């Protein structure tokens, strides 16, 4: 049998440079930087354009304020805006909390009993598909307490994605693992804790990301509908109020706060999801 001698490849002999691989590596490095730099540059460019448009066209500040004026208003009106922000934040956070508890609770109930799901899921769907602005006036007629009314509105908007996603997640547990749990005579409780809830976690966290944004929308919309002022008014009411007074810079300032709140909520829920799943779930894995 002829044995073909092969050169010893354990010591690198050829060039240790591959042009294509180097190009790919360079592109990856560039992309990593661009991911942060490009949105920032475009955002700054947009703001500068906004400013120039106002100045060049001599648009009065009660129609469109310059970005600088909006920032200034954010500072000068802080005594009005920040308490309002806290009110909106509180309603959003509470609504999200109740949405999580209610959504997960209901999902667990649905997973335990098909009949419960058949009975109650139509209500959940109807609540979800009916625009909150059309339900809210009724809610404020029936519910005296303004805070509870606001909470209820925000909750109706926010709970459905939690419910729908968690229900799907609880059902998506591996069927072989279900068999294994049956073979080991696991109780219903053990099955829920050790199999169904962990299986549902990625789905739940996906629902949470959506619900976070929706809770804020629900809180703001409900406040528009509730309309009444007073000490405990949130940002939405401040926008309405500023609109009546043609205080356009303050409207913009309040808008910026709402948008920033939304971004922070999204970042927080995304971070939560990442931290909870990074060790094991496909969605959180880095491809090498």
Partner 1 sequence: MALTADPHDMTQTRPAILRMREVDKTFTGNVLALRRMSMEVRQGDFISLLGPSGCGKSTALRLIAGLMRPTIGRIEWDGGASAEDLGVVFQEPTLMPWATVEKNVWLPFRLRGKSFAASRDQIHEALALVGLTGFEARYPRELSGGMKMRVSIARALVTNPRLILMDEPFAALDEITRQKLNDDLLALKAQTNATVIFVTHSVFESVFLSDRILVMAARPGRVIREIAVQERYPRGIDWRTSPDYARIARETSDTLHGALAPGEVH
Q: Which of helix, strand or coil describes residue 262?
A: helix
Gap between the Cα atoms of 120 and 240, Å rounded: 37
**Nearest to 221, CA basis, from 157, 268, 126, 143:** 157
Residue 119 in contact with partner 1, rule: CB under 8 A = no
Residue 279 in contact with partner 1, rule: CB under 8 A = yes
Q: Which of 198, 227, 229, 243 binds partner 1 (CB under 8 A)?
A: 198
Written in H, E and C, the secondary structure of 204-226 is HHHHHHHHHHHHHHHHHHHHHHH
CB 221, min distance to partner 1, A: 37
Residue 180 in contact with partner 1, rule: CB under 8 A = yes
Gap between the Cα atoms of 272 and 286, Å rounded: 17
CB 1, min distance to partner 1, A: 20
CB 273, min distance to partner 1, A: 14
| Closest to partner 1 by CB, 35 or 185 | 185
Written in H, E and C, the secondary structure of 12-55 is CCCCCCCHHHHHHHHHHHHHHHHHHHHHHHHHHHHHHHHHHHHH
Q: Which two tokens stand for residue 170?
A: 């609880």
Residue 22 in contact with partner 1, rule: CB under 8 A = no
Q: Are 100 and 211 in contact (CB under 8 A)?
A: yes
Gap between the Cα atoms of 49 and 65, Å rounded: 13
Residue 190 in contact with partner 1, rule: CB under 8 A = yes
| Closest to partner 1 by CB, 109 or 275 | 275
Q: Which two tokens stand for residue 43?
A: 């955002």
Residues written for the chain: 288
Q: Which stretch binds partner 1 (CB under 8 A): 25-33, 102-110, 124-132, 180-188?
A: 180-188
CB 276, min distance to partner 1, A: 10
Residue 252 in contact with partner 1, rule: CB under 8 A = no
The residue behind tokens 């802080």 is: 78
| Closest to partner 1 by CB, 42 or 180 | 180
Q: Which stretch binds partner 1 (CB under 8 A): 137-145, 158-166, 169-177, 267-275?
A: 169-177
Gap between the Cα atoms of 195 and 191, Å rounded: 5
Q: Which stretch binds partner 1 (CB under 8 A): 103-111, 224-232, 257-265, 275-283?
A: 275-283
Residue 281 in contact with partner 1, rule: CB under 8 A = yes
Residue 184 in contact with partner 1, rule: CB under 8 A = yes
How far separated are the first and last CA of the chain, in Å rounded?
A: 42
CB 272, min distance to partner 1, A: 16
Q: Which two tokens stand for residue 70?
A: 């909006």
Size of the residue set binding partner 1 (CB under 8 A): 21
CB 192, min distance to partner 1, A: 13
Residue 275 in contact with partner 1, rule: CB under 8 A = no
Q: Which stretch binds partner 1 (CB under 8 A): 114-122, 141-149, 213-221, 276-284?
A: 276-284
Gap between the Cα atoms of 277 and 100, Å rounded: 18
Binding site for partner 1 (CB under 8 A): 174, 176-177, 179-186, 190, 194-195, 198, 201, 279-282, 285
């Amino acid at each position: 049998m002829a044995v073909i001698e092969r050169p010893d490849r354990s010591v690198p002999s050829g060039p240790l440079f591959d042009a294509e691989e180097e190009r790919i590596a360079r592109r990856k490095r560039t992309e990593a930087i661009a991911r942060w730099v490009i949105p920032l540059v475009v955002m700054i460019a947009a703001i500068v354009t906004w400013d120039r448009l106002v100045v060049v066209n001599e648009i009065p500040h009660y129609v469109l304020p310059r970005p600088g004026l909006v920032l200034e208003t954010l500072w000068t009106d802080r005594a009005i805006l920040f308490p309002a922000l806290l009110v909106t934040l509180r309603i959003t956070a509470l609504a999200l909390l109740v949405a999580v508890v209610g959504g997960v609770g209901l999902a667990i109930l649905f997973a335990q009993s098909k009949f419960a799901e058949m009975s109650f899921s139509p209500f959940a769907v109807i609540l979800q598909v009916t625009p909150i602005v059309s339900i809210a006036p009724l809610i404020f007629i029936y519910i005296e307490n303004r805070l509870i009314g606001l909470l209820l509105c925000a909750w109706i908007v926010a709970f459905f994605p939690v419910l729908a996603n968690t229900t799907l997640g609880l059902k998506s547990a591996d069927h072989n693992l279900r068999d294994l749990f049956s073979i080991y005579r696991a109780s219903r409780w053990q099955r829920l804790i050790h199999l169904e809830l962990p299986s549902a976690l990625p789905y739940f966290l996906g629902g949470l990301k959506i619900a976070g944004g929706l809770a804020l929308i629900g809180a703001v919309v409900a406040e528009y509908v509730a309309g009444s002022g007073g000490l405990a008014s949130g940002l939405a009411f401040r926008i309405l109020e500023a609109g009546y007074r043609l205080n356009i810079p303050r409207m913009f300032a309040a808008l910026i706060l709402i948008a920033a709140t939304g971004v922070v909520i999204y970042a927080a829920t995304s971070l939560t999801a990442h931290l909870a799943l990074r060790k094991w779930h496909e969605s959180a894995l880095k491809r090498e």
